[in-house]
Structure 1
Amino acid sequence: MGNLGLVGWGATYRDHNGEFLLVSCKGLGVETNYVAECYTILENAEVAIEKGWLNLWLESDPAAAIEAFSTGKIPWQLSKRWGWCKSKLQRCMLSHTWREANFAADTAAKRGSRLDKDEHVAGE
């Protein structure tokens, strides 16, 4: 909600058939949109690993964040955690999607921006 402003991430998780598994959101406090999108990718990879979902296809609407993770040029404060994720994942594909293509994740992200910093809400 603004750049620099209160931000959060939201995500939907689906299986290989497109069936819904989980929706999740988290408040990140005051950050830039770009940093928020990078946290979205990283922290959702971590959630998937915790669930045992090790073959991932991560989609995100900002192409810049996808490019950063694809090339390894992510914000320095995330690099160690991303290295851990890559060591645990069996397969990880990253791609860009339009925000309008996943309205559920966009709605969850808006909810996340209203949560306190580090407050996490998930539902199956």
Structure 2
Amino acid sequence: MFAINVLPGTIHLLELKAILQGLIPARKNNMADIWVESDSLVAVNVVLKNYKCPWKGIPTLAKIYKCMAESNSWRISHTWREANSVADFLSKTNCDVNGDDLSIESAPPILLDLMAQDSSGAIYTRL
């Protein structure tokens, strides 16, 4: 798990930064095939070049492309927030962290439950 406090900005720029923060450890761990899922359809479309990137996001987008270019293959797709419950929980929690990995030992029970559901292949429905 990873969380970081960010300065105010548009949600789309924050979503691009979140994608980059997920790619950095993937590249550091030499993961050859990368599949990014984001619950931000706008961010996915910016990475896929279906939407223009806001000028403030261009440096982050360049870093995303650099990380992806270093992999054997990559893809990015949209997922609904309900299927991204761990990330959704973390985004709504006031984490006092500074770019550090969060330890499982200090995770609240509800987050552990969400992770267990996610790893068990639970089916999520939209209401």
Q: Same fold (TM over 0.5)?
A: yes
Aligned-pair Cα RMSD in Å: 2.1
1:68 — aligned with what? 46
- Greater share of strand: 1
Post-superposition offset of 1:77: 2.0
- Taking the aligned partners of 2:11 and 2:62, their CA distance within structure 1 comes to 21
Question: Which structure's relative contact order is higher, taking Cα pairs within 8 Å and 6+ residues apart?
Answer: 1
Within-5 A mapping of 1:27-46: 27-46=5-24
- Greater share of helix: 2
Gaps of 5+ in 1: 1-22
What is the SS of the residue equivalent to 1:48?
A: helix
1:47-96 per-residue CA deviation (whole Å, 9 max, x = no partner) reads 21012222111110111100000117442122431232122111111100
Post-superposition offset of 1:109: 2.3
- Taking the aligned partners of 1:29 and 1:115, their CA distance within structure 2 comes to 13
Would the aligned equivalents of 2:35 and 2:76 in 1 still touch at CA under 8 Å?
Answer: yes
Pair member with larger Rg: 2
Gaps of 5+ in 2: 105-127
- Taking the aligned partners of 1:95 and 1:26, their CA distance within structure 2 comes to 22
**TM-score computed with the length of structure 1 as normaliser:** 0.69
**TM-score computed with the length of structure 2 as normaliser:** 0.67
Q: Number of residue pairs matched?
A: 99
2:120 — aligned with what? none
